[in-house]
Amino acid sequence: MNSTEVATLRQRFWKGVSKLTVESVQRAIDYIEEHLAETLSLEEISRASAMSVPNLYRLFNAVAGHPIKEYIRKRRASEAACLLRQTKLPSVEVGFRCGFDSYQTFVKTFKRLTGLTPGLYRKAEVIYSFERIRLNERMSYLEEREVSERYPDVKVIRLSSIEGIGYLHVADREEGLEEEALLRFQSILAESRIDSSQMRLFGWNVDLEEGAVSPEFGYQLMASYPDDKAVPIPHSELRPVAIPGGTYAITWTPMNHGPQIVAAWNRLLSEWLPLSAFELGEHGFLEEYQQFNGRISRMKLHLPVKRSQGLETIEVVEREALQVIKFQAEGRDSLSRADEAASEWIKRRDLIGDRRFQVLMSGSYGGSPNEGSRHKIWISLPDGYVPAQEDAHLTERLEGGLYACLNIRALGSMEGVLERIYRWLSASPDYMPDEERPWFASYMLDESGMERGTGTFEAMVSAACYVPVMLRNQSKQEEGP
């Protein structure tokens, strides 16, 4: 049998997997999840899924991609990993709470799956996560092996439309917005006698209408049952809400760790996305709050994506020198602190909305967002603009010359974009990096999207990343014989 015949048989097999079979396996998964902390028997699971035990064994592995007993072990270990990080419960208590029948079984299984004992895992930085499978969200796609191996925790799914009950939280400050919204939403659900422990909880930022005396920030929350069961709306602050669905890149991060959540978003948007086979989609960013035993244990981040059209190319351009105002910060959160300083300067100079002043960003490349990071925000000054005397120490010259440029929809630290450009330069016979000048990125807003009123702010922003280059023969001439 040749490879074509094998491929044909495989296609026929998957076409033969009926919707009824998938629904039966999903019922088995749902039953497992509802009773994960309890003793589970295959007979009970088979009755819940309306399958015989032999069929349950065979079809679960074929459709879900994991033997059923191994799926249960991995899910229990994953929930145990969350409790080890999020609570101070003794390891033995964590094991029993997650459904393991003995402490010895817990330790043996946990170490096999994570490589660490429960005690060592608590102190380590590694994250073990094996997510609940939702068969209707799975999708197949081609990805470079290097990218998939480098980002094994990032998956691409197709999220179906979801309806539920929602609560919009509005505050006059952005700090702590999500935490306040979640506490209020959970309180309203409890008052309304709605058990949210088995519901999916989603949240996303909302752009409120301008015109308020003071700026207001909005965060929308939505709760829905996995089986789309209708939920009554007994409270005046609750409203019907729907998520339209779409294609998302997802990853996980611990709950209640602000810097880690920001770092996880940046890793998705600035590192994985530019190297992947996808580009930023126009549907909204989502955060899913995942629960175990009625406690939110971690967050699943949903980055909206669509398949890349493959139109982004790197070209070498020549730029003129610029006079700029510099704002620099070092250490943790250096990018946000430099950005805040630049924003304050723009406000003080009453330059908000003045398109003559372009914002540029640069920073250290190749490091991690820790104590060694450094970022700069430059504001380019138009011809004829004379800086105030008090800004003289902030003024500097950004040299012109040849730059390798890539236009792309990406935000954040530009790690993935820079890696693409430097890889291209390493293979270029004509150009090489010029280490004497800094790289920088400039941002552009798609005004057509604003006029149509479609898409998120992030989806309407694109970036041009510039890496300084020089001719390879020029480098040899400067080095001399």
Within a domain: 254:
yes
SS3 188: helix
Give the end of a domain, one of 208, 228, 243: 243
Q: Which two tokens stand for residue 226?
A: 């996995």
Q: Any idea which of 7-16, 203-212, 354-363, 422-431 has the lowest mean pLDDT?
A: 7-16
Q: Any idea which of 92-101, 257-266, 362-371, 426-435 has the lowest mean pLDDT?
A: 362-371
Within a domain: 290:
yes
**∠ CA(399), CA(405), CA(406), 5° rounding?**
145
Give the end of a domain, one of 262, 285, 307: 307
220, amino acid identity: Q
- Is-contact 434 371, C-beta < 8 A? no
Check pLDDT > 60 for residue 481. Answer: no
Same domain (yes/no): 384, 428: yes
Mean pLDDT score of the chain, rounded to an integer? 82
Residues 6+ away with beta carbon under 8 Å from 76: 36, 98, 99, 100, 109
Q: What's 119's domain CATH number?
A: 1.10.10.60
Same domain (yes/no): 406, 441: yes
Same domain (yes/no): 380, 452: yes
Within a domain: 193:
yes
| pLDDT at 313 (0 to 100) | 83
Same domain (yes/no): 205, 58: no
Give the end of a domain, one of 285, 307, 329: 307
Same domain (yes/no): 175, 110: no
Check pLDDT > 80 for residue 425. Answer: yes
Sign of the torsion angle spanned by Cα atoms 177, 179, 185, 187: negative
Cα torsion through 362, 366, 371, 373, rounded to 10: 0
Same domain (yes/no): 167, 118: no
| pLDDT at 44 (0 to 100) | 93
Number of structural domains in the chain: 4
Same domain (yes/no): 97, 200: no
Check pLDDT > 80 for residue 479. Answer: no
Of 410 and 394, more confident: 394
Confidence grade of residue 10 (pLDDT, cut at 50, 70, 90): very low
| pLDDT at 209 (0 to 100) | 67
- Which residues span the domain enclosing 432? 314-479
Q: Which residues of 263-272 are buried (b: 16+ CB within 10 A; e: fewer)?
A: bbbbbbbbbb
Q: What percent of the chain has pLDDT over 70?
A: 81
**∠ CA(233), CA(234), CA(238), 5° rounding?**
55
Q: Which two tokens stand for residue 279?
A: 């580009």
Same domain (yes/no): 466, 321: yes
Return the residue matching tokens 């997510």: 131
Within a domain: 132:
no
Same domain (yes/no): 116, 166: no
Confidence grade of residue 452 (pLDDT, cut at 50, 70, 90): very low
Same domain (yes/no): 154, 216: no
Q: What is the mean pLDDT of residues 454-460?
A: 53
| pLDDT at 454 (0 to 100) | 47
| pLDDT at 263 (0 to 100) | 83
Q: What is the mean pLDDT of residues 116-124?
A: 91
Check pLDDT > 50 for residue 33. Answer: yes
Within a domain: 134:
no
| pLDDT at 404 (0 to 100) | 93
| pLDDT at 370 (0 to 100) | 45
Residues 6+ away with beta carbon under 8 Å from 273: 249, 279, 280, 303, 305, 410, 416
| pLDDT at 371 (0 to 100) | 45
Q: Which of 247, 250, 255 is nearest to 301 (CA)?
A: 250
Within a domain: 133:
no
Distance CA 340, CA 140 (A): 41
Q: What's 445's domain CATH number?
A: 3.20.80.10
Within a domain: 320:
yes
| pLDDT at 426 (0 to 100) | 86
> What single-letter DSSP state applies at residue 42?
H
Within a domain: 251:
yes
pLDDT tens column, 293-302: 667 878 899 9
Same domain (yes/no): 372, 394: yes
Same domain (yes/no): 346, 406: yes
